[in-house]
């Protein structure tokens, strides 16, 4: 299972489309352990582009603090689960907390 977390300055970015990088985590579903991590530069915010691009990267779950409704719909079309309102700065911790069923979420901070 592969997760994508938008990051800026090494922390979970407050807005999905405006992050500087994506942290990609490969997780063993049986052990709930991270078995691989890669940080790649964001190709930039282009309406409708990021969901297809992350699908090509093999991502099955995106965890973000905020994301617009149009982006969420496009992720759903690409069969990628979206978790919105993630609270926390550490991208690895939010993935591990999600895998353990302990991820704390709040409101979607994106207003579009």
* pLDDT for the residue 56: 94
Length of the chain counted residue by residue: 112
Parse the chain into domains and list their residue ranges. Answer: 2-63+72-85
Cα–Cα distance measured from residue 75 to residue 102, given in angstroms and rounded to the nearest whole number: 23
Give this prediction's pTM: 0.93
Which carries the bigger pLDDT value, residue 17 or residue 112? Answer: 17
Q: Which residues are 25's β-sheet partners?
A: 3, 37
The third-level CATH classification (topology) of the domain covering 2-63+72-85 is Nucleotidyltransferase; domain 5 (3.30.420)
Buried residues in 2-28 as b, exposed as e (16+ CB within 10 A):
bbbbbbeeeebbebbbebebbbbbebe
Digit-coded pLDDT (tens) for 2-57: 999 999 999 999 888 889 999 999 999 999 999 999 999 999 878 788 999 999 99
The two tokens of residue 63 are 């965890």
Question: What are the respective helix, strand and coil percentages of the chain, to the nearest 5?
Answer: 25, 30, 40
């Amino acid at each position: 299972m592969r997760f994508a977390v938008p990051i800026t300055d090494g922390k979970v970015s407050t807005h999905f489309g405006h992050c500087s990088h994506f942290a990609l985590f490969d997780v063993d579903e049986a052990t709930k352990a991270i078995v691989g991590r890669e940080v790649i530069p964001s190709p930039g915010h282009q309406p409708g582009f990021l969901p297809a691009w992350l699908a090509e990267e093999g991502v099955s779950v995106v965890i973000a603090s905020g994301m617009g409704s149009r982006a969420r719909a496009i992720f759903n079309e690409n069969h990628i689960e979206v978790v919105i309102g993630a609270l926390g700065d550490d991208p690895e911790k939010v993935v591990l907390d999600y895998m353990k069923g302990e991820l704390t979420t709040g409101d979607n901070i994106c207003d579009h």
